[in-house]
Every structure is written in C-alpha cells, then in structure tokens.
Amino acid sequence: MKTPMSDALAPGDVPGFPCPNCKDFRIKLSLREVLYGREAQCGKCGLTLSIDRSNAGKLMSLLQDVYVAEQNVSAFQKK
C-alpha cells in the first residue's frame, strides 16, 4: 500500500529526475527553479527542457506557499 512518504527518497538515492535523452544523469531543480525558472538542462548531454507551468496552476500555488514558508523559516533562523 502506498503511503504519503512512499515516494520519498531512500537513503542513497540521488535526487532529481533522469534525463530523457541520455538517461545517465539526474537533473536536479530547486524549488525556486521550479517556480521561476524557464529551463532545466542536463549536465551531461546538454539537453535543455522548457518548464511549462500553464496547466499546473493549483500545484504552482501550493509550491509558492511552501517556498514562502521556507523563506520565512530561513529568515527567522537568522534572527
């Protein structure tokens, strides 16, 4: 049975998603890059992927909330 954390990285797993072209490299994006970036690039083969958010309105809104919360925690920790 799937649990909310069953898709989380296991120890030793590499974050990111496999490059659809070379499949040897995992493309990693920060939350900021997902929210505001225009492209992601494979560090091995150079494939450039466009980030299309046009059909992800609700998800982008939720990720924006997470990003703002992350920034607030970071600012609070610096005090």
Poorest-confidence range of 5-14, 42-51, 66-75? 5-14
Q: Is the pTM of this model over 0.85?
A: no
- Contact yes or no for 47/39 (Cβ under 8 A): no
**Model pLDDT, residue 14:** 79
Picking from 52, 51, 28, the residue whose alpha carbon sits closest to that of residue 39 is 51
E-assigned strands of the chain? 17-18, 26-27, 39-41, 48-50
pLDDT surpasses 90 at 8:
no
Tens digit of each residue's pLDDT (9 = 90 or more) over 17-63: 999 999 989 999 999 999 999 999 999 999 999 999 999 999 999 99
pLDDT for 40: 93
* In the chain, where the domains are located: 17-78
